[in-house]
Amino acid sequence: MQEHETGLVLVGKAGCHLCSERSELVRAEARRRHLTLRELDAALDPLLERRFGQRVPVVLWNGEPLVELDFDAAELREALDRVGA
């Protein structure tokens, strides 16, 4: 991951059931808002692994965490609204 990642990013891990579920939710919200979504696997990136460890899935906006772990659609929408996404 680049140090100054911009936009909407979902960090997860392959084989993470919760990550797969939340990926669908984040994709749907990104489409609804016409946002580009990047999905990254923390297991493949040492920086992400150090930063988030087992705290995945996590949604970032411009590199800053918005929601993580067991968030729902309403929490995601509220977080995106707060940052003006």
Domains: count for the chain:
1
Task: Read off the pLDDT of each residue in 24-52 and give the average, rounded to a whole number.
Answer: 95
Question: Is there a domain that residue 57 lies in?
Answer: yes
> pLDDT of 1-14, one tens digit each?
554 567 999 999 99
Alpha-carbon distance of 13 to 82, in angstroms, equals 26
Confidence of residue 61 (pLDDT cuts 50, 70, 90): very high
**Within a domain: residue 47?**
yes
Is 38 within a domain?
yes
Whether residue 40 contacts residue 50, with contact meaning beta carbons closer than 8 Å, is answered with no
Residue 74 belongs to domain spanning:
8-82
**Model confidence, pTM:** 0.91
- Whichever domain contains 30, its CATH number is 3.40.30.10
- The two beta strands, 58-61 and 64-68, are antiparallel
